[in-house]
Amino acid sequence: MAAKKTSIQIPVERQKAAQAAGTFDLDELPGILSNPDAAVRLAKTAKGDKALKSVRSLNSLAKISNGQIIANYGRSESRWAQTYQRRRAGNAEVHELLSYARQLVGISPDGELGIFLMGHAGQGSCIPLWVPQEEVTLTVQPNDIVMRFDESPLDAW
């Protein structure tokens, strides 16, 4: 039996950062993180957001369907992922790099909304855990880069 096609608009909550950590670009992210299917850099307001790849706005990026995930990275998370990739001599696994994201949300291939919990941050083994949720909110700050991967690189469904 085929899974039904599910499409959900993930609500976005913009937080004001006490002090923005600075901007960065996709090419500063390691591995697969530098090549998402869609990406937006956030400003203080939606009007100032900058589409980086394949979408015009955060709202269009945040509408996801079966098998897609959204990852949110701030400048700090970007640096941590880069440092980890260097320590692994460029051989970090994709789930290890994604473990540095501020937030990972998605829809399973079966149409179930949820979040990924990682518990890694360079402190030991990284085991993605898919946690189904009825509601998910994407929480973002200015200068974050929000990415969408159309085919989840994680097998933890």
Q: For residue 76, give the nearest of 127, 145, 14 by alpha carbon.
A: 145
Mean pLDDT of the region 84-96:
91
Q: Is the pLDDT of residue 34 over 80?
A: yes
For residue 132, what are the contacts with CB-CB under 8 A and spacing of at least 6?
108, 112, 113, 114
Question: pLDDT tens for residues 92-150?
Answer: 989 899 999 999 999 999 999 999 998 765 566 778 889 999 999 999 999 999 999 99
Q: Which residues pair with 125 in a beta bridge?
A: none
SS3 34: helix
d(C-alpha 28, C-alpha 39), whole Å = 14
Q: Is the pLDDT of residue 18 over 60?
A: yes
